[in-house]
Amino acid sequence: MTEYIDVYCTVKGTKFDEKPIDLNDATNLGGLLARDATYGTFGEFTGEYWDQRILTSARQSALADQIRQLANPGELELRLRISCDLFPPGSSGIQHLIGILAGDLGIAQVRGLNLDPIKITRVEFPDTWRAAVEARYRSTAHTIEGIRRAFELADDQPLLAFSLKPRIGLTQEALEEVTLGVLEAGFQLVELDTRYLNLEPSTIKHLTELAQKAVEVGKGKRVTRLSINLSGSAGAVIPVCADLLEKIPSPVVVKIDGGLDGITTIQAVRSAFTDQNGKDSPYITTYPLLKNVIGQRITDDTFLNALIWSGSDIIYPGGAPYLGGYRQLDHSAANSLAHAVDRYWRIVSVGYPMPTVAAGIYPGQLQTYYELLGPNVAFFLGGGVALHKYGPVQGALLCVRIIEEARHLRQKAGKAAFAEELSENLMLEAEGAIAIPAGADEKTFRYIPVKELNNVPGLKPWFKR
């Protein structure tokens, strides 16, 4: 029995006489999309010549159905069904699918119709197909529980990572000073930033040596690691991973971002390192670099899920809860906050990957994020550490102190809804740690009081989830 991947699309446009398109137009357009996604072109293949040469299975590989009129005239929804057989899990199937959906499929041109770009609103996968992808690539990937165990984290302790800033331009000596200093301050992981990508052998040799030194920082006390950015082609990345697995004890952490090579390289690493003499496969951190671009064409988490199913372990899912910054939350922001927190908790409830909060986090937000998201969400800080007025090591020390006090206050609160605020001295230190940009509000980096969470319906601390 053929199984289908269901792609829900909205179409909008007018006819040549400027009347809104109708169900008949959408039906014809659906047929065009089904052909265009598979064997076809701008017209139908008819006649005896093609009847004898096109397999019936090709004509049945996609279809459009469930076409319905939406509220606005000239706007309709249809379901495009594409056979799973076209996207075998072990043969770049998911890459091929994303290429079709995010490529030119949504820019259909139909003579006599004036159409807006077609919007893909959601993509639904059969359970059996998704299970086949995950069985192939996630069998050696890592769960949230496994990551916590590898880093020897206490039950209420989150993973603290520094996304190293400045992104480029540091000398090798400065890179080493900052990396080891931040790990000494109490962070578990330092990760080279998305922009820091240099796979030249001499650079990789230096970074591998630095990764070995990073292990020694916490040796005998806690787990400390450097994650090298390996967001390149599989052919370049596999030998580096093999070398790291030889020289560094588990966990070996590498960064493979969701760029042009992302899905393929993550899959290659998972396929290559299935049994390394009893050592774990690399722990892969991922920033979904192309998520927003692809999301303009496929407006759900299809690209994010592709990275996860392919074997990413720690990932920034985007849409981190917004805490209001220098303003108190208004109604719309509060509603968005509740939805964002729920989204993170849905990811955590599956058990993998470990989601991160990242992109613009500063010290005054850490306690509130911890109260909402808890220890199974990792904190990946960049500027929040590097911009401290006394340097990144002091920035890291401050963040560690805030998290430690947040843990203590959470334990002290017991069954209370939310914990008490940080001590006044620590609160003031957090607010004064980063210079306010010229022209910005004086409260730009304010401490976010935990008590503000009581005003948001539906919010509760992580331990009550």
Using CA atoms, how far apart are residues 404 and 422, in angstroms rounded to an integer? 10
Amino acid 145: pLDDT: 97
Amino acid 327: pLDDT: 54
- Using only the alpha carbons of the chain, give its radius of gyration: 25
The two three-digit tokens of residue 410, written as one number: 């959470």
Boundary of a domain, candidates 136, 163, 185 = 136
Is the pLDDT assigned to residue 299 strictly greater than 60? yes
Is the pLDDT assigned to residue 192 strictly greater than 60? yes
DSSP 316: -
Query: Domains in the chain: how many in total?
Result: 2
Average pLDDT, the chain: 91
**Same domain, yes or no, for 327 and 281?**
yes
Is the pLDDT assigned to residue 328 strictly greater than 70? no
Boundary of a domain, candidates 92, 121, 136 = 136
Is the pLDDT assigned to residue 283 strictly greater than 70? yes
How far from 224 is each of 60, 136, 163, 191, 215, CA to CA, in Å? 54, 30, 14, 11, 5
The two three-digit tokens of residue 291, written as one number: 């998520």
Using CA atoms, how far apart are residues 322 and 332, in angstroms rounded to an integer? 11
161-165, 245-249, 291-295, 366-370: least confident range: 291-295
Determine which helix (DSSP H) or strand (DSSP E) holds 28, and give its type and residue range.
helix 23-36
pLDDT band per the 50, 70, 90 thresholds, residue 330:
low
DSSP output for 118-171: PEEEEEE--HHHHHHHHHHHSTTS--HHHHHHHTT--TTPPPEEEE-SSSS---
Contact predicate 268/233, CB 8 Å:
no
Is the pLDDT assigned to residue 255 strictly greater than 80? yes
Look at residues 447, 396, 456 and name the one whose alpha carbon lies nearest to residue 426: 447
Question: Which residue is associated with the tokens 């994020």?
Answer: 369
Look at residues 350, 344, 346, 347 and name the one whose alpha carbon lies nearest to residue 371: 344
DSSP 114: E
How far from 284 is each of 97, 260, 301, 313, 375, CA to CA, in Å? 23, 16, 19, 5, 19
User: What would the mean pLDDT of 65-82 be, rounded to a whole number?
Assistant: 93
pLDDT band per the 50, 70, 90 thresholds, residue 326:
very low
Helix (H, G, I), strand (E, B) or coil at 119: strand
The structure's pTM equals 0.92
Amino acid 411: pLDDT: 93
Task: List all residues 6 or more positions away from 13 whose beta carbon is below 8 Å from its beta carbon.
Answer: 20, 21, 25, 74, 113, 114, 115, 116
**Same domain, yes or no, for 132 and 261?**
no
User: What would the mean pLDDT of 182-193 be, rounded to a whole number?
Assistant: 97
Task: List all residues 6 or more positions away from 204 whose beta carbon is below 8 Å from its beta carbon.
Answer: 198, 228, 240
Using CA atoms, how far apart are residues 249 and 150, in angstroms rounded to an integer? 10
Using CA atoms, how far apart are residues 177 and 193, in angstroms rounded to an integer? 16
Using CA atoms, how far apart are residues 115 and 139, in angstroms rounded to an integer? 44
The two three-digit tokens of residue 194, written as one number: 């998305």
Is the pLDDT assigned to residue 426 strictly greater than 80? yes
User: What would the mean pLDDT of 396-420 be, rounded to a whole number?
Assistant: 94
**Same domain, yes or no, for 79 and 190?**
no
**Same domain, yes or no, for 125 and 157?**
no
**Same domain, yes or no, for 189 and 68?**
no
Is the pLDDT assigned to residue 388 strictly greater than 70? yes
**Same domain, yes or no, for 210 and 247?**
yes
DSSP output for 318-345: S-PPP--TTS---HHHHHHHHHHHHHHH
User: What would the mean pLDDT of 378-391 be, rounded to a whole number?
Assistant: 95
195-209, 210-224, 348-362, 438-452: least confident range: 438-452
Look at residues 239, 170, 169 and name the one whose alpha carbon lies nearest to residue 199: 239
**Same domain, yes or no, for 38 and 171?**
no
CA terminus-to-terminus distance, the chain: 40
H and E: helices and strands count for the chain:
17, 13
Residue 29 is part of which domain span? 4-136
**Same domain, yes or no, for 93 and 234?**
no
Share of the chain above pLDDT 70, in %: 96
Is the pLDDT assigned to residue 331 strictly greater than 70? no
**Same domain, yes or no, for 280 and 347?**
yes
**Same domain, yes or no, for 55 and 153?**
no
Tally of CB atoms within 10 A around 369: 23
Is the pLDDT assigned to residue 329 strictly greater than 60? no
4-13, 106-115, 245-254, 256-265: least confident range: 106-115
Amino acid 106: pLDDT: 67
Is the pLDDT assigned to residue 278 strictly greater than 60? no
Amino acid 89: pLDDT: 85
Query: What's the full length of the chain, in residues?
Result: 465
Determine which helix (DSSP H) or strand (DSSP E) holds 81, and give its type and residue range.
strand 75-83
Using CA atoms, how far apart are residues 58 and 35, in angstroms rounded to an integer? 9
Boundary of a domain, candidates 136, 157, 190 = 136
The predicted-structure confidence for 31-50, as pLDDT tens digits, reads as follows 888 888 888 877 788 888 98
Amino acid 274: pLDDT: 79
**Same domain, yes or no, for 306 and 372?**
yes
Is the pLDDT assigned to residue 90 strictly greater than 90? no
CATH number for the domain spanning 114: value is 3.30.70.150
**Same domain, yes or no, for 58 and 195?**
no
How far from 415 is each of 72, 154, 346, 408, 426, CA to CA, in Å? 49, 20, 23, 14, 24
The predicted-structure confidence for 107-134, as pLDDT tens digits, reads as follows 666 777 888 888 999 999 999 999 999 9
CATH number for the domain spanning 432: value is 3.20.20.110
The predicted-structure confidence for 56-68, as pLDDT tens digits, reads as follows 888 889 999 999 9
